[in-house]
Amino acid sequence: MDRTPELGDIVEGYCERCRLNLDLSVAVITEGIVKQVQCRTCNNFVPFRAVEPESVRKERVFKRVLNMRDRKTSRSRAAAEAQRNAAAAATDSAATASASIQARREARARWETLTDGVDSTRALPYRPQRGYSEGDFILHKAFGMGYVESTSKPESDTPPQTALVVFRTGERQLPINQPSDD
């Protein structure tokens, strides 16, 4: 530019908003020096910066790409980490679920073994007021046939108050020897 720049002149410079060398209109001149320009691409008023040399531009772009790649890598690392954690949690809950399924299966198998060939007429109808002993078969209205595995230890002269009964659906603690209502 040979002549003194004037407001509104189109100059080539670097727009820090567009991050490009672009045509800019001169907006502020102080003592013959262009201070501020308006980018004709983004319309922002930006401080005037001379055209960025190609080598500088290339290096900057290269750095930006590297940064982006780093960010992407750490992002994907974080994502992978989160995925691993989620997978671990899923495995844990699956293990818990399969453990409880396993426990149920075992309980069922145990019940089948215990009650195999037991005539239900031998089973005693369950009533909380009644007393039962280990090895008894009982018939519960809700849980079906059960095997009395143990009874709570009687304290001195009091009869056991609960029985641990194996039902098809699992073990249950039932009250026994309860005082009668009438």
Measured CA to CA, the distance from residue 14 to residue 50 in angstroms comes to 6
CB of 85 to Zn ion, least distance (A): 43
Q: Residue 70 CA to chain centroid, in angstroms?
A: 26
What 3-state DSSP class applies to 151? strand
Q: Determine if 139 is a binding residue for Zn ion (CB under 5 A).
A: no
Q: Determine if 39 is a binding residue for Zn ion (CB under 5 A).
A: yes
Answer for which of 4, 17, 90, 122 binds Zn ion (CB under 5 A) is 17
Q: Determine if 28 is a binding residue for Zn ion (CB under 5 A).
A: no
- Count of beta carbons in the 10 Å neighbourhood of residue 137: 19
Return the range that interacts with Zn ion (CB under 5 A); candidates 31-39, 74-82, 144-152, 173-181.
31-39
Q: Strands 124-125 and 137-140: what pairing?
A: parallel
Q: Determine if 24 is a binding residue for Zn ion (CB under 5 A).
A: no
Q: Determine if 11 is a binding residue for Zn ion (CB under 5 A).
A: no
Measured CA to CA, the distance from residue 96 to residue 90 in angstroms comes to 10
Who contacts 45 (Cβ-Cβ below 8 Å, separation ≥6)? 27, 36, 37, 38, 39
Return the range that interacts with Zn ion (CB under 5 A); candidates 17-25, 63-71, 93-101, 121-129.
17-25
Q: Determine if 10 is a binding residue for Zn ion (CB under 5 A).
A: no
Q: Determine if 18 is a binding residue for Zn ion (CB under 5 A).
A: yes
Helix (H) or strand (E) holding 124: strand 124-125
Answer for which of 13, 14, 15, 151 binds Zn ion (CB under 5 A) is 15
- Count of beta carbons in the 10 Å neighbourhood of residue 37: 28
Q: Determine if 34 is a binding residue for Zn ion (CB under 5 A).
A: no
The residues of the shown chain that bind Zn ion, judged by CB under 5 A, are 15, 17-18, 39, 41-42
